[in-house]
Structure 1
Amino acid sequence: MSQPTGWTVFQSGGTTGAPKTSLFSHEEMEALYLPNARGYHAVGLRRGDRVANLFAVGNLYMSYLHVHRALEAFGCANFPFSNHADPVLVRNCCRLFGINCLTGVASVALNCLREMEKLGLRGVRIEKFFYSAEHLYDADKAELRERFGVRKIATHGYGTVDTWYLGYQCAACPTGVFHAHDDQVFLEVWDEEGRRPCAAGEAGMLYATVWSRRLTPLVRYRVGDRARWLEDRCPCGRTTPLFELLGRGDDVLRIGFDSVDYRYVQDCAGRVKGLLGSVQMVKERQTGRDRLVVRAETRVPPKGRPALAAALSRELLSRRPTLKKGVEGGAVWPVRVELLDQGGIPRNPRTGKLVRVVDDR
């Protein structure tokens, strides 16, 4: 704030219910287009593509404005719809202008495509789907390929509002694996209990020191995600370090004597055919005992849902002996599975992101 340059204020922490702000100088904002363009190029965006920008806009949200400017600089045909766009308008423009790429918050862009399908997709061909801000799980990727014919699915950038991009994917990166933007940021994976940096392959908490942040410097900023370094080189030929995200450090609910993480619940849902990728886990406390509630979305008619719910419940207990023992011994209430229609799980009203973890004690 002491520098004479102008600055822009953005809001962060949109999914926690406790909003914070982050300040960027105009020079810092300009410097961010390089990692953004690098990520888009690595996942397969090209100048001839016609891109629907479905990122969240308004209320001090950052991504839409930045992606809009980056797409202009990249040289694409840019369609600035935002997350509030009417699917009718998006569908009609896809037909009229031959839009072939969607980019946005993962669940928002996917839900827009699902709503467009209800209107009819004749004349619409979406070949590329580039997302960030949320994970896109295997069930969602299978839906994009098999249901909508999308050929390229990847995240062009991983980061936070405060740090901006920390990593990017390429065509060879599997889900959750990223190239580090090592010329933009210094990343560390720390064993917080042992107070030491993690060796390759060890899981720890991700920290970032951002070279470009001068107005509000960030030194060893705790990102909030668990990660690990990978030793293998990427088949794409890039020599930047690879890291794998292992889920949010705070995406864990203590149920009885077991700590259940969101990634485990998501993986269980992915093994039950008929469930979509959107899942929420909830902790309830009733008469002195914990209960794990898992909500999942499905297109299966109500008649077939009890069998799906039972299958997911079995899957959840199959590899959690502590949780299973607690349920069988009466220390923990039985797991309750709630199956909802597509779009039934609450989203953050500002960003459209899925509310993944709720503690209702």
Structure 2
Amino acid sequence: MDIVAHWVFGKPVEGQFELNQARALLAEARNRRKSLQEIPFVEIVECLHRVRGHLSQVERRRASVERIAAGSNFSTPMVDLAYGVLLDALDRSMLEAKVKEELGSLEVLDVPVHDRSRSQLLKASPLGVVLHLASGNVFLTAVLTLVEGLLTKNVNIIKMSSRERWFALEFARAVTACDPEGIVASSFAVLDLPGRDDTVLGEFYGGVDGVVVWGGEEVVKQLRGRLPVTCRAIEYGPKFSVAVVTSAAVKSYGAELLAEALAHSVAVWDQQACSSPQVLYTDLCEAELEAFLDHVCQTLDRLASTLPLGRRTLDELAEVTKERELAAFNAAIGTGGLRTSGSRQEWTIIVEEKPGFRLSPLNRTLLVSPLKTPEYLFEQLSAVCGHLQTIGLAASREERSRFLEIAELLGATRITSLEGMSGGVPGEPHDGVHALRRLVRWVSTEVGSDEAYYSPLETLSLPRLERLVLGRLRARVARAREGSDYYRERLDGIELRSLDDLASIPLLSPRDLPDLVPPRSRALFCSEPRDGYVFRSGGSSGRPKYSLYSLEDVAADMAAAARGPYALGLRPGRRVASMFSAGSLYGSFISSIKIAELLGCQVFPLTSHADTEMVLATLEAFSIDTVLGIPSTFLCLVREHGERFRSAGVKCFLYAGEHVFEEDRALLASYGIDDVLSFGYGTVDAGPLGYQCLHCRGSEHHLLVGHQHLELLGLDDDLPCPVGRAGRVVVTNLERALMPLLRYD
């Protein structure tokens, strides 16, 4: 008897997997849920990104590709192409883009997130223990479904396909090797269970919280009747895809370009993927079709060398042979056409004169069917509505809208270009649904009047908060070391086992910053700037410092900074005028507008240099209740025109950049402006640092926990400042990606 190998919670297990082991595994899986839920989400991402690096090593990739190809029906080049797809999917940027697109936030798996429009908190909670039944048509299925389970903090049990076992186990070993703390690696099991004996599977069905099934129609039907009502069935059943090429598209884009794209989509995965085109529908006339298929055949011939067809079973060879013989007969009597690669059976194109739909025998066998109108496509495919996944569409701009309507009526879940059929983008729905959303439960919590003013991060226990901050610090260090020339050597060998280890990172002085950023250098950047904002500050040294923020950085900063005005009562419906300085690379005006917009306020972008009469007239005309700005500018206006502010109904002034003294508060109160508080505390370089709530007085501010990490060091040394003494503020922005500032002094 062959030894069956499994990987259970970070350790290899040999032998047949028995019923008593399944019961023990289920109990252990439930016990492991808590530790996985408490790990910061970003550490799961970093672990998977390290797995990517591990699997990317040249010799390991070569050996893995050869081993997978030897045990599968795919050729070595095809396996290598798929291996590259997996490495791309494991890149941290792709993982985070997927989670943001599907769940809306990277925080929502760690802590509840404010839904400010409804005064409630929303958290994505994992289902719990999830069983994944992997399919055998594509060897990546087991790994990719496991990744989705880990990203949603579920404890996962993977039943490998009988057609591909080795790589799923190899991936499990890689996760274990790349997870020093072992929390991620010990949160899943990869099992080799015989399909003929479902006793163990039956035990799992009754004990898990969700089952993800990839398979044929019979497998899906059988599963539905065996799951308890408390278990969520997540089904990815049988699907097929087609291509559409119109004469107008060929005239617009060229036959050769479209033919190459179609041939490549036919060749990738040897048509085994649900997104592979099985039928081409086209309205090309006979001469146009002959020329178009010439190009398709030429491309398929080239791909037969560069991306060869894999091994086929005798049944598959027989099915293709049968289709060829029938097509040859139809061609002989003038009711169809046949093009082939010859006796090698590398590819087959069957042109059918009679319209309709039938499934291809796959293995690079493309059926060609006539298409008269977009409505004609509906007639041919309406009988298989619900099974259609992708339509690769090449049509003119005028035709496209009608084809899209037909595709929707047919229940197609993807409409792509011809070349896009076998690809995808992070967060794209699969079979019409977002996979990650099906792996979580959304928990809504009504926010009490006191809780409404604070971030859920601030209500975490101190150990939970410190664990979260440590995870984000580790991610910042890893990403800076990997991407920044400045930090690569500076952070070499540094590991953060606890928050105390942060002191091993050298301080970054504001005096050094101008030499690390444009125009002098790009050494601080972790990537090449492509979007975002550039701000400027002079600083105490007098040397201008430029701070670059990507749009992602700006969004993170604004979301954090909005905690302050929200805590002070800004809500949808408030009328807010910004009188901060604009232009000259200042950041305050842009930030104030974005924050007020985030909070759903009606915004009046006045600026500090607007005409005085226009400002006053606007305040009065719209009964503006809140003004944002710099104290000195605002106070000058109030001293001269206080009664106009009173008549306008201005009640609140939120300031930044300068202090407001007691005599200033008295002046403002005399004109009815009673709420005078900080709009937020921060710097151009480091971003927003703190905020005030209604209980803060004077210059007191809360730290923006989870967004910034603050250290207080001695005035004369770099040691932690004793409690009760004044010290230097040293900050690390926990979310800034483009230009990270670690321990900025």
Shift of 1:188: 0.9
Q: 1:189 touches 1:197 (CA, 8 Å); kept in 2?
A: yes
Cα 1:16–1:46 change in 2 (3 A) is farther
Aligned match of 2:574: 49
SS at match of 2:584: coil
One of 119, 129, 146 as aligned partner of 2:653 = 129
One of 682, 691, 694 as aligned partner of 1:159 = 682
Cα 1:74–1:84 change in 2 (3 A) is same
Cα 1:182–1:203 change in 2 (3 A) is same
Tell me, in whole angstroms, the C-alpha distance in 1 between the residues paired with 2:692 and 2:614: 30
One of 591, 599, 606 as aligned partner of 1:81 = 606
Aligned match of 2:700: 177
Q: Deviations over 1:88-139 (max 9, x none)?
A: 1111111111011111112222223334338x45632210110111111111
Tell me, in whole angstroms, the C-alpha distance in 2 between the residues paired with 1:42 and 1:127: 16
User: Quick check: 1:8 aligned with 2:533?
Assistant: yes
Shift of 1:18: 3.3
Shift of 1:16: 6.3
Aligned match of 1:243: none
One of 537, 544, 553 as aligned partner of 1:19 = 544
Structure 1 residues without counterparts, runs of 5 or longer: 223-361
Shift of 1:33: 1.8
One of 214, 231, 234 as aligned partner of 2:737 = 214
Tell me, in whole angstroms, the C-alpha distance in 1 between the residues paired with 2:580 and 2:533: 18
Shift of 1:46: 2.3
Q: 1:44 touches 1:152 (CA, 8 Å); kept in 2?
A: no
Tell me, in whole angstroms, the C-alpha distance in 1 between the residues paired with 2:529 and 2:618: 43
Tell me, in whole angstroms, the C-alpha distance in 2 between the residues paired with 1:157 and 1:25: 21
Q: 2:721 touches 2:727 (CA, 8 Å); kept in 1?
A: yes
One-letter identity of the residue aligned with 2:531: G
Tell me, in whole angstroms, the C-alpha distance in 2 between the residues paired with 1:217 and 1:192: 24
Tell me, in whole angstroms, the C-alpha distance in 1 between the residues paired with 2:601 and 2:542: 35
Shift of 1:3: 3.2
More contact order relative to length (CA 8 Å, sep ≥ 6): 1
One-letter identity of the residue aligned with 2:727: G
Shift of 1:193: 1.6
Shift of 1:15: 7.3
Aligned match of 1:244: none
One-letter identity of the residue aligned with 2:612: P
Cα 1:121–1:53 change in 2 (3 A) is closer
One of 665, 671, 677 as aligned partner of 1:141 = 665
The alignment of Structure 1 onto Structure 2 pairs a total of residues equal to 220
Q: Deviations over 1:179-212 (max 9, x none)?
A: 0001101101110324311133211111101112
One-letter identity of the residue aligned with 1:220: R
Cα 1:13–1:3 change in 2 (3 A) is same
Cα 1:121–1:54 change in 2 (3 A) is closer
Cα 1:15–1:74 change in 2 (3 A) is farther
Q: 2:628 touches 2:679 (CA, 8 Å); kept in 1?
A: no
Cα 1:15–1:96 change in 2 (3 A) is farther
Shift of 1:48: 2.2
SS at match of 2:695: coil
SS at match of 2:739: coil
One-letter identity of the residue aligned with 2:533: T
One-letter identity of the residue aligned with 1:214: A
User: Quick check: 1:188 aligned with 2:723?
Assistant: no
Cα 1:62–1:132 change in 2 (3 A) is same
Tell me, in whole angstroms, the C-alpha distance in 2 between the residues paired with 1:157 and 1:176: 10
Tell me, in whole angstroms, the C-alpha distance in 2 between the residues paired with 1:196 and 1:189: 8
Q: 1:87 touches 1:116 (CA, 8 Å); kept in 2?
A: no
Q: 1:5 touches 1:26 (CA, 8 Å); kept in 2?
A: no
SS at match of 1:207: strand
Cα 1:57–1:93 change in 2 (3 A) is same
Aligned match of 2:175: none
Aligned match of 1:63: 588
TM-score by length of structure 1 reads: 0.58
SS at match of 1:197: coil
Structure with larger Rg: 2
Q: 1:57 touches 1:64 (CA, 8 Å); kept in 2?
A: yes
Aligned match of 1:328: none
Shift of 1:77: 1.1
Aligned match of 1:274: none
SS at match of 1:195: coil
The percent identity for this pair of structures is: 38
Q: 2:535 touches 2:547 (CA, 8 Å); kept in 1?
A: yes
Shift of 1:156: 2.3
Superposition map of 1:187-336 within 5 A: 187-222=710-745
Cα 1:122–1:179 change in 2 (3 A) is closer
One of 30, 33, 39 as aligned partner of 2:555 = 30
One-letter identity of the residue aligned with 1:138: E
One-letter identity of the residue aligned with 1:62: G
Tell me, in whole angstroms, the C-alpha distance in 2 between the residues paired with 1:139 and 1:77: 30
One-letter identity of the residue aligned with 1:91: L
Tell me, in whole angstroms, the C-alpha distance in 2 between the residues paired with 1:220 and 1:198: 15
Q: 1:52 touches 1:101 (CA, 8 Å); kept in 2?
A: yes
One-letter identity of the residue aligned with 1:178: H
Q: 1:53 touches 1:80 (CA, 8 Å); kept in 2?
A: yes
Aligned match of 1:94: 619
Superposition map of 1:93-112 within 5 A: 93-112=618-637
Q: Deviations over 1:143-193 (max 9, x none)?
A: 1112x1112111021010111111001111010111000110110111032
Tell me, in whole angstroms, the C-alpha distance in 2 between the residues paired with 1:221 and 1:4: 21
SS at match of 1:186: strand
Tell me, in whole angstroms, the C-alpha distance in 1 between the residues paired with 2:715 and 2:646: 53
TM-score by length of structure 2 reads: 0.29
One-letter identity of the residue aligned with 1:43: L
Tell me, in whole angstroms, the C-alpha distance in 2 between the residues paired with 1:183 and 1:115: 42
Cα 1:99–1:193 change in 2 (3 A) is same
Tell me, in whole angstroms, the C-alpha distance in 1 between the residues paired with 2:542 and 2:638: 28
More strand by share: 1
Shift of 1:70: 1.7
- RMSD of the alignment, in Å? 1.9
Tell me, in whole angstroms, the C-alpha distance in 2 between the residues paired with 1:131 and 1:201: 28
Q: 2:592 touches 2:628 (CA, 8 Å); kept in 1?
A: no
Superposition map of 1:341-352 within 5 A: none
Cα 1:61–1:141 change in 2 (3 A) is same
